[in-house]
């Protein structure tokens, strides 16, 4: 098979790789119909995370099952499936509590920018669509495997409620999907923080009622202006930098909630400040599996269209250009077609 391999910061290559095989009876092999580049892939690409030896990339996937291990009965060859970037057996104590992304047998997907992929824990991880979905739904379904599932988790962790006010920090694909989620959960006011016109436009299309272009404490001051001086009920932190976390925490009202889903890089939270803020804070890798059946329905019924975050489509072999376009913020998110 062929897929993307990172060699060093900025150096993504499309290479011929060994075909994936069933290694354990709980594995499945799928042929990816579409895959993509994630904002979090940019951390190593930009040299902000160690790379070590050259290795494959990608954790978002949808596709058709080609082969399953002997213990996999939930899906079968020929079915169109979606799975989370974090695999799960869906039976352990953490899975039963709805935190499948902390599954005791979790393995993170990491080789999905390829035409085929091995999925561990396939029985608990993969969700099949009722029938073969039309090609127009592929991007939306693909978005569920990470960015839409993560945006949903951000809104869930931030406890968005009907009638509430939500702030979204971060205008990447996850933040934009967070807007969709906040809207679906009934937020009355959705404030997207963005200074990028294309993304502002998409945020509004997804349901944002206000756009705040200021950053840092100026941005916080604008949020306070819009929320009777006290801050928002819910804040979705979808970046992972110290600045974004600070902005998020300062934007929440006392008793409000911050859901943080950007993988934190050098983020430290001051205990005393968090204490006096009265804000609740919860984050982590999204328990996508918990949401998948519902989100698949929403996509196939056309109620949400998270596939719109893909504003550039490239053949998989041009994956390097996909990284470059996202790194330079020329694209929100790049769809790759094998």
**Which residues are near a second copy by CB under 8 A?**
93-94, 97-99, 101-102, 104, 157, 228-230, 242, 245, 253-255, 260, 263-272, 274-285
CA nearest neighbour of 211 among 252, 167, 157: 167
Q: Of the two residues 205 and 270, which places its CB atom closer to a second copy in the complex?
A: 270
Q: Closest approach of Cβ 201 to a second copy, in Å?
A: 30
Beta bridge partners of 257: 234, 280
Q: Closest approach of Cβ 267 to a second copy, in Å?
A: 3
Q: What are phi and psi of 253, to 5 degrees?
A: -75, 160
Distance of CA 157 to the CA centre of its chain: 14
Q: Closest approach of Cβ 68 to a second copy, in Å?
A: 28
Q: Closest approach of Cβ 115 to a second copy, in Å?
A: 31
Give me the sign of the Cα torsion angle 224, 156, 109, 313.
negative
Query: Which 8-state DSSP code applies to residue 19?
Result: P
Q: Of the two residues 250 and 253, which places its CB atom closer to a second copy in the complex?
A: 253
Query: Which 8-state DSSP code applies to residue 208?
Result: -
CA nearest neighbour of 35 among 79, 70, 75, 85: 85
CA nearest neighbour of 244 among 202, 293, 283, 296: 283
Structure tokens at 18: 């060994």
Q: Of the two residues 82 and 158, which places its CB atom closer to a second copy in the complex?
A: 158
Q: Of the two residues 2 and 282, which places its CB atom closer to a second copy in the complex?
A: 282
Cβ atoms 333, 176 nearer than 8 A: no
Q: Of the two residues 13 and 278, which places its CB atom closer to a second copy in the complex?
A: 278
Cβ atoms 105, 92 nearer than 8 A: yes
Cβ atoms 35, 338 nearer than 8 A: yes
Q: Of the two residues 140 and 262, which places its CB atom closer to a second copy in the complex?
A: 262
Q: Closest approach of Cβ 258 to a second copy, in Å?
A: 10
Q: Of the two residues 95 and 179, which places its CB atom closer to a second copy in the complex?
A: 95
Q: Closest approach of Cβ 27 to a second copy, in Å?
A: 24
Q: Of the two residues 30 and 147, which places its CB atom closer to a second copy in the complex?
A: 147
Structure tokens at 190: 């959705």
Nearest 5°: the CA angle 129, 36, 59 is 75
Q: Closest approach of Cβ 142 to a second copy, in Å?
A: 24
Q: Closest approach of Cβ 205 to a second copy, in Å?
A: 30
Three-class SS of residue 280?
A: strand
């Amino acid at each position: 098979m062929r897929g993307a391999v990172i060699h060093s910061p900025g150096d993504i290559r499309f290479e011929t790789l060994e075909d994936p095989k069933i290694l354990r009876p709980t594995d499945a092999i799928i042929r990816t119909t579409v895959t993509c580049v994630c904002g979090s892939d940019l951390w190593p690409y930009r040299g902000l995370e160690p790379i070590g030896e050259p290795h494959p990339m990608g954790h978002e996937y949808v596709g058709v099952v080609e082969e399953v291990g002997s213990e996999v009965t939930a899906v079968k060859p020929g079915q169109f499936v979606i799975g989370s970037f974090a695999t799960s057996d869906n039976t352990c104590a953490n899975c039963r509590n709805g935190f499948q992304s902390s599954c005791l047998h979790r393995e993170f997907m990491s080789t999905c920018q390829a035409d085929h992929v091995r999925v561990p824990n396939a029985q608990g991880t993969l969700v099949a669509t009722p029938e073969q979905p039309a090609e127009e739904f592929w991007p939306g379904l693909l978005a569920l495997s990470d960015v839409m599932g993560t945006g949903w988790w951000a809104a869930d962790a931030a406890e968005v409620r009907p009638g509430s006010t939500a702030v979204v920090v971060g205008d990447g694909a996850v933040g934009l999907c967070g807007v969709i989620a906040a809207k679906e959960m009934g937020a009355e006011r959705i404030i997207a923080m963005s200074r990028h016109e294309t993304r502002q436009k998409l945020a509004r299309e997804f349901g944002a009622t206000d756009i705040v272009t200021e950053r840092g404490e100026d941005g916080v001051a604008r949020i306070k202006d819009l929320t009777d001086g006290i801050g928002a009920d819910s804040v979705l932190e979808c970046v992972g930098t110290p600045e974004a976390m600070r902005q998020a925490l300062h934007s929440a009202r006392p008793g409000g909630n911050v859901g943080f889903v950007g993988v934190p890089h050098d983020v430290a939270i001051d205990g005393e400040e968090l204490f006096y803020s009265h804000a609740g804070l919860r984050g982590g890798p999204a328990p996508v599996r918990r949401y998948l059946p519902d989100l698949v329905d929403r996509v196939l019924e056309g109620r949400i269209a998270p596939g719109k975050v893909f504003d550039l489509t490239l053949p998989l072999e041009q994956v390097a250009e996909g990284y470059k376009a996202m790194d330079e913020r020329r694209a929100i998110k790049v769809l790759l077609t094998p």
